[in-house]
A = this chain, B = another copy of it.
Amino acid sequence: MTAGARPTLKDIARRAGVSVSTVSYALNEQSTLPLSGTTKAKIRQIARDIGYVPNGLARSLQAGTSRTIGVLLDKPVTTPRYAAIVQGLVEGLTEQGLHLALLHKGPASQWVAAVRGYQLDGLIFVGHDDHEVPGELAELVAKHSVPFVALDCGAFGEERPYSTVDFDYRAGVELLMAELERRGTRTVYYLRPDLVSRAERIREQAVFSALGQRPEVALRVVSTGITAEHLKRLEENPDQQASYVHELAGRVEQALGTDGADPGHTTLLCSWGADVEAVYRVAQRRDPRYTVAGLAAGTLTTGLWPNLVYSRLPLEGAGRECARLIMGETSTSPVHEHLLLPPVIDAGQSTNSETSAPATAADEK
């Protein structure tokens, strides 16, 4: 659309035979300037007739706010976990009368400059698995008091100069282990990436702690083959995903082949939801009585596939909370809140035990 196509205050003034500032007063609801009702009505009618739309940029400039929040995703929105968070964010921000700008890569300084240059009112960083907010971003946010919310960056319990939303991975493990106990699990194969992250550490500690209360359950650890370097290569070349899945499947085959744990009392517990599909496929082909569980949800639907259990993260809810918290951050006296959201169990039918009933699911997708 070329600028000339849009009617301006000048066009209205010419038609009404008044000055541009009179038009401006007449269209401004907040104006206290005395103006006859007839003049005001006439000017407003002309504005409607010629399809005048106020310049939103001029209004934003005057108000010193773009009413737009920048959302920085650490992974592509095609990752189901990220899509669910973005859906919660767009719903929550819209409810608050804010717009969502989806930002793509680029240096942290660029996005902080956009906030300092009034193009964005604040930033929401969507991380994963308790990884820290990238150093440069955290530094610039603190230095310039940028309104900021960090999601799933493992800050709960620590003082930060911004708001945070985290997932209670520990509670997720405890819920899941209790559900597996109800299903009669005696052996747990823990499918574990070879990564040191805060979330992995929390989950491992929680698994140990849950086993300590269940001496009848045996643990076997199976590496999924994912190292930090491997993960980086995968993210840069998504077409290598197929070879990772193939390797993972082979590792599960091998682990299940080397011993005689009773499938009806054995669970394959995936630390990552993304591993569930491959692990489930291999396990079910060997013996349909195996249970497969994920400490986050995968794409398989629990209602369709038996012996499948997720600890499901409240992803859309987390997005909506971030939208609420960024409002507090943008206020004149910023408020920092720190939330820890618990997962819920999403369990399909069990073919092994008579006691399990399908539990309720939250919104992770």
> Measuring CB to CB, which residues of chain A are less than 8 angstroms from any residue of chain B?
1-3, 5-6, 51, 53-61, 64, 66, 68, 76-78, 80, 82-84, 86-87, 90-91, 93-94, 99-106, 113-119, 121-122, 144-147, 242, 245-246, 249, 277-278, 281, 299-301, 303-305, 316, 330, 332, 365
Contact = CB atoms under 8 A, between A and B. Distances in A.
Contacts of A68: 101
The 5 closest A-B pairs by CB, nearest first: A56-B117, A56-B119, A53-B116, A94-B104, A83-B83
Given A77-B77, A94-B106, A102-B90, A1 B146 contact: yes
A314 to B, nearest CB: 14
Contacts of A144: 1, 5, 51
A316 B77 CA distance: 11
Contacts of A51: 116, 144
Contacts of A76: 87
A41 B348 CA distance: 69
A260 B344 CA distance: 43
A117 B55 contact: yes
Given A144-B5, A305-B281, A53 B113 contact: yes
A76 B88 CA distance: 10
A77 B90 contact: yes
28 contacts: A1-B115, A1-B121, A1-B122, A1-B146, A1-B147, A2-B332, A53-B116, A54-B117, A55-B117, A56-B117, A57-B57, A57-B61, A57-B66, A57-B118, A61-B61, A68-B101, A78-B83, A78-B87, A86-B86, A90-B102, A94-B105, A101-B101, A102-B102, A245-B304, A277-B300, A277-B301, A278-B304, A299-B299
Contacts of A330: 1
Contacts of A3: 64
Contacts of A60: 57, 119
A291 to B, nearest CB: 17
A365 B241 CA distance: 13
A104 B69 CA distance: 14
Contacts of A54: 117
A102 B277 CA distance: 30
Contacts of A87: 76-78
A305 B365 CA distance: 21
Nearest to A243: B303
Nearest to A147: B1
A102 B100 contact: yes
Given A56-B119, A77-B86, A99-B103, 11 more contacts: A1-B121, A1-B146, A1-B330, A3-B64, A55-B117, A57-B119, A77-B90, A94-B104, A100-B104, A245-B303, A277-B304
